[in-house]
Structure 1
Amino acid sequence: MTADAALPLLARGAPRRPCEVHDVALLDLDGVLYVGPDAVPGAAPALEEARGAGMRLGFVTNNAARTPQEVADHLTELGIGAAAEDVITSSQAAATVVAERFGAGAAVLPVGGPGVAAALQAAGLRVVERAEDSPVAVVQGYGRDVGWTQLAEAVVAVRAGATHVATNTDATIPSPRGVLPGNGALVGVVSTVTGQAPVVTGKPDPAMHAECVRRTAARTPLVVGDRLDTDIEGGLRVGAPTLLVFSGVTTPAVLLAAGPQARPDLVAADVAGVNRVHPAVQPEGDGWRCGRWTAVAGDDGLRLSQDGAGPDDGPDDGPEDDGFDGLRALCVAHWAAHPDDSAAPAVTAGGGAEVAGTLSRWGLAES
């Protein structure tokens, strides 16, 4: 193992723009390209810039409600050109798993939006509506209109012997109104009543990203997402570098406490991070430095400080601070000291109102 390979992932940065290094971006949708019906500001021009640099785009979503064509149409409406063959949904992954296990023509009960039933039919399975139709499996995915009636049919079918397959177990989804219940919350209802844990086919299971890699013939893919437990862990499990964006559900405080299975290679405010150089985090004395920021891990937690040097005057002469250099230093300091832990550390400011204010903005106010 090289010395560089031994560093915590975030320490290495990206001395060249990811869009110039990676041939395909495997992009999550909810929280990365749109929140609810609306595009994340700047997403469309950022992806157009990435395409201009030679990066191709694949869209990988745990949201099972819509068909690939509907997803592609929505992205195109938002200014992000996409075709159905560019989209991989968790419904498609679930349908493949069920078809391989039970064979073509098997009866399956869908629970969720129209994308679930459409994926099952496309895989050659027979869609049924009632537990009395003796389905061999129940495939449950997100749907805005899922209610008691569908959940009750799923419970009866699973208790009668059907295999419970969940397209994903995301407990929450982002929305303009804040965090809302995701598919995992309703999957929990069925599994609690039946006592049966579901088979989960969406991210972080590597099948979805692996399928997108196969479709795009990617050689150096980059996984881009807003969730640690699905996008980042999924990327790690498929062996691809990852970029975490803060336009969705993950906060800096949650990132800092991430376990080793969910630590990204890069972080950015939004998907425009594929078009910028990312600074390295370098060891300095007892701590780790990124630009003007230094973080030191001790027995009582982390201490973050900032010097007065300009962004181009620091020892690493790195790119201009995008607002997250201090967070990068904190994460690397904590992960280097606790490579196998996922506990949330205490963080204190090493002087100055700007440092304290930054910690507060990140939800890491002094303990």
Structure 2
Amino acid sequence: MSDGGGDRLVDGFRLVVFDLDGVIYLIDRPIPGAVEAVGRLRAGGHLVAYATNNASRRSSEVAELLTGMGVPARPEEVLTSAAAAAELLRDRLPAGAAVLVVGADALRAEIRAVGLRPVGRADEEPVAVVQGYGPQVGWAELAEAAVAVRSGATWVATNTDRTLPSPRGPLPGNGALVAALRTALDRDPDLVVGKPEPALFATAARRADGAGALVVGDRLDTDIEGARRAGLPSLLVLTGVHGVVDLLAAPPQARPTYVSVDLAGLFDPDAVVRVPGEPTAGGWSVAVADDALEVSGSGRPLDALAALCALAWSTAEAALLPVRAASPAAERALRALGVPD
């Protein structure tokens, strides 16, 4: 890594906590290198956990999906926002209370598993509404939720991810559906359970028994911010939702500790960088010129990224500037990082 160490990043941690969508798989296809990366971690004696905001599958279903992709996983290694939301409601409501579920069957199953009664209509007098992602969610379910919340039901969202990564590009996530209900109700949910709230990561980190945990994610506003709220270091991989331009504009609470193109950064010191670096380091120089962040010099693309972060994060104005190459090597590096021309 460019911060001077020759050791593998993963050697500093007992536990690695992965986000799923955009890190391990896209919808139902493993991301290249993910199967091998998890296998290497297990072979090296590391603990593995998965923390996902996607509430459309139960932990056992996620574990089965991962195992089918060649990533052996146990249900107890999977932490979902659906299960976390159900446990939160269990702790707040009397046994058998009616909860209106907007989402997939997995979320209904989690509500039922904690002794609450999932319902689908507002006239069944639910005391709470829980809203999670489900590909079949439509106007009718949102309408029932709106009526229930207006009647006094507590509104809990499993997460507010605006999009889901997919091979076809970002698709509407639960946050988009929450936004529709927020518009209709002119108010926010009473509680949001999933990332960036720290609960999922804090629960996972306890399994490391103080030996160190690293969060790996593709979203700055959920994975990385959630890791920071939980007091954990994080690795941003560029295989999912957020890329370099998003990283440069990230607010302080959503800035990762490390960045790599993919999961190879866990094992290869040359495939990961600590951010921010210095504006002039690793053979690169970044300066503000003609209302742009101008990159000159040559070297490792990731070192150019670290230098860019140093300057972009120095002021709010710099974070909004476009990036421009001032040398052929810089042009190649920015292209390798996916920075648009």
Normalising by structure 1, report the TM-score: 0.85
Other-structure match for 2:145: 154
Structure-2 separation of matches of 1:239 and 1:83: 26
Structure-1 separation of matches of 2:254 and 2:112: 34
Superposed, which structure 2 residues align to 1:1-367 within 5 Å? 12=3, 15-198=6-189, 199-215=191-207, 217=209, 219-277=211-269, 278-279=272-273, 287-290=279-282, 292-297=283-288, 300-307=291-298, 321=300, 323-335=301-313, 337-338=314-315, 343-352=319-328, 354-360=329-335, 362=337, 364-365=339-340
Q: Which runs of 5+ in 1 are unaligned?
A: 1-9, 312-320
In 2, are the aligned partners of 1:111 and 1:138 still within 8 Å (CA)? Answer: yes
What's the CA shift for 1:297?
4.5
SS at match of 2:205: helix
CA-to-partner distance for each residue in 1:123-175, whole Å, 9 max, x for gaps?
22221221111111110001111112211111111111111111000010011
In 1, are the aligned partners of 2:19 and 2:218 still within 8 Å (CA)? Answer: yes
What's the CA shift for 1:282?
9.0
Structure-2 separation of matches of 1:13 and 1:144: 46
Alpha-carbon RMSD across the aligned residues, in angstroms, is 2.3
Structure 1, 147-156 or 70-79: larger mean CA deviation:
147-156
CA-to-partner distance for each residue in 1:31-73, whole Å, 9 max, x for gaps?
0000011000110011111222222100000000001000000
Same amino acid, percent of matched pairs: 46
SS at match of 2:250: coil
Aligned partner letter, 1:359? L
Aligned partner letter, 2:24? L
Q: Highest relative contact order (Cα 8 Å, sep 6+), 1 or 2? A: 1
In 1, are the aligned partners of 2:98 and 2:117 still within 8 Å (CA)? Answer: yes
In 2, are the aligned partners of 1:13 and 1:265 still within 8 Å (CA)? Answer: no
Q: In the comparison of the two structures, how many residue pairs are matched?
A: 338
In 1, are the aligned partners of 2:258 and 2:273 still within 8 Å (CA)? Answer: no
Normalising by structure 2, report the TM-score: 0.92
Other-structure match for 1:317: none
